[in-house]
Structure 1
Amino acid sequence: MKTSLISALAAATLLTAGAALGSEAPAAAATGLGGDPELGKEKAGQICQACHGLDGNGVPGQPIWPKLAGQHPEYIYKQLMNFKNNERYNVMMSPMAMPLTEDEVRNLAAYYSSLEQSGGTAEAELVELGEKIYRAGNPVTGVPACTGCHGPAGSGSNLAKFPRVSGQFSEYVAQTLHLFQSHERANDPNGMMRGVAANMTDQEIQAVSAYIEGLSQ
């Protein structure tokens, strides 16, 4: 059973996040990227919507492709440029990103960051462990808390290029953590995410991924 965490479990989270990270909401975040959202929408309709949806909330039945709606523009820009420059590889994304001009990347970042994310739900039986890992990590095995970079409500930070994770598909989050764990993905600054994932168990990855999907802002 999946449930939203916005009322019962995340009330305190949202109050804290409002003070700590409220200014980092993607749509209002200050950015020097520029970009034209309308041109970004046009390009998204040509090459992105099959996997991410034109509204940026993904496609039903394909949760391995992330939601981009409401994501920080600086983060979207970085990831697309990493794909374009072969600093991050994915069999689907790399060929899509390589032909993009830098202006097109800026436009796509402006477009998707301006959209509203649909949010998500968490598997109730995984919430307790997921919340523990998200908020406190696992000191015994050296797993740090996720809140340190992504914030108590999963808001992330535009300027620091820490992604918004709240409401993201749990399948995508788990897949990403496994890729960092195996070093198949290695475009994290200073190996930060590889270090986080290195000591996580499969159970911890599954639980924290489910918890993250249920976080709401």
Structure 2
Amino acid sequence: MKRLMSMTVVSGLWLVLAASAQATGGNVAAGQAKAAACAGCHGADGNGGADPSWPKLAGHVPEYIVKQLSDFKSGARKEPTMSALAATLSTTDMINIAAYYASLPRKPSAARNAELVKQGEKLYRGGNAKTGVSACMSCHGPSGHGIPPRFPKVSGQSATYSVQQMLAFKAGTRTNDGETMTRIAFRMSEQEIKAVAEYMSGLH
């Protein structure tokens, strides 16, 4: 039984990796048609809807979008609305949707708090050696554009969404992206999380 479960997990992981590898070759037009149902939350141009807790998908790393959709479908990442939507998508649908959103330009959010931005920049670029928090740019890049396929674009993302996700990593309620973010977020204070999120929102 254990061997069968291990084979199932490995098989599922292989499918996600294979889909991610194909993501950059998706059909943008087909993805746009399939993403029509996504516009209510993520915006007609992929730059977010009325609620800032809904993320921007425009300009995102396509492989990352495929992985997240796969995780919502499998239950590795949990969110009722996204899980229900992802359940209806085929691997090809996910690849095409990812290609579509990756093709759209992301509009930077406007940072609102200069003091938080200053604190956030220090953490993003240098981390916090005293608490063992790595510099965010070591994984997400100096300009926040991400490092495909594993590390997503964070520049211009809604600060509200970024805070929400980092708190989820900190609390251990989001665990689908390995241990890196869980370990780092756990060592960050809520003030540091808010500061980094504010800085990233205006980073471009």
What is the Cα deviation at residue 32 of structure 1?
Answer: 3.0
CA distance in 2, matches of 1:210, 1:182: 20
Deviation readout 1:26-61 (Å, 9 max, x if unpaired) = xxxxx632221111111111x20110012100113x
Q: Which of 88, 104, 111 does residue 77 from structure 2 map onto? A: 88
Equivalence for 1:42: 33
Q: Which of 173, 188, 192 does residue 180 from structure 2 map onto? A: 192
Compute the RMSD of aligned alpha carbons: 1.0
Higher helix residue share? 2
Matched, 1:201 2:192: no
Equivalence for 2:4: none
Q: What is the TM-score normalised by the length of structure 1?
A: 0.82
Identity of aligned residues (%): 48
CA distance in 2, matches of 1:179, 1:209: 14
Count of equivalent residues: 182
CA distance in 2, matches of 1:82, 1:178: 19
What is the Cα deviation at residue 119 of structure 1?
Answer: 1.0
What SS does structure 1 have at the residue aligned with 2:89?
coil
Contact 1:142 1:199 in 2 (8 A): yes
Equivalence for 1:165: 154
Q: Which of 123, 137, 142 does residue 127 from structure 2 map onto? A: 137
CA distance in 2, matches of 1:155, 1:100: 27
Deviation readout 1:75-128 (Å, 9 max, x if unpaired) = 001000110111111122111111111111011001000000011121212111
Dislocated runs of 4+, deviation >6 Å: none
Q: Which sections of structure 2, spanning at least 5 residues, go unmatched?
A: 1-20
Q: Which of 194, 198, 204 does residue 210 from structure 1 map onto? A: 198
Q: Which has the higher contact order (CA 8 A, sep 6+)?
A: 1
CA distance in 1, matches of 2:63, 2:155: 17
CA distance in 1, matches of 2:201, 2:138: 18
Q: What is the TM-score normalised by the length of structure 2?
A: 0.87
Matched, 1:180 2:149: no
CA distance in 1, matches of 2:103, 2:142: 22
CA distance in 2, matches of 1:211, 1:91: 29
